[in-house]
Amino acid sequence: MKLLRFTAKWCGPCKAISPTIEKVCQELSLTTEVIDIELPEGIVQATKYNIRAVPTFVLVYPDGTEISRKVGAGKESEYQAWLKRDIGHFNQ
């Protein structure tokens, strides 16, 4: 699995949530690859996944099929619950 992180240089919430995502992945001992996709350079990928806002995190299978997504810079506990639910059981 891969975690696509759609961000933009001008996006304050993107910068704010980035360390939280890294921390949560580390705390949960997740082996999921995190791939940063910067906009506007990543517009092709953003269009493919219908990205309407940043930050947006899209969890995908290796073939690119979407599993789930989380939009916005939420609380650490929200991201922890999301990743535990959608990634955690694959890493056991």
Which residues touch 80 (CB under 8 Å, ≥6 apart)?
24, 27, 28
Catalytic residue among 3, 4, 8, 14, which? 14
Say if CB 69 and CB 77 are below 8 A apart. no
Q: Which of 4, 11, 51, 54 is catalytic?
A: 11
Cβ-Cβ contacts under 8 Å for 38 (sequence gap 6 or more): 7, 8, 9
Cβ neighbours, 10 Å, residue 22 = 12
Q: Is 14 a catalytic site residue?
A: yes
Catalytic residue annotation = 11, 14
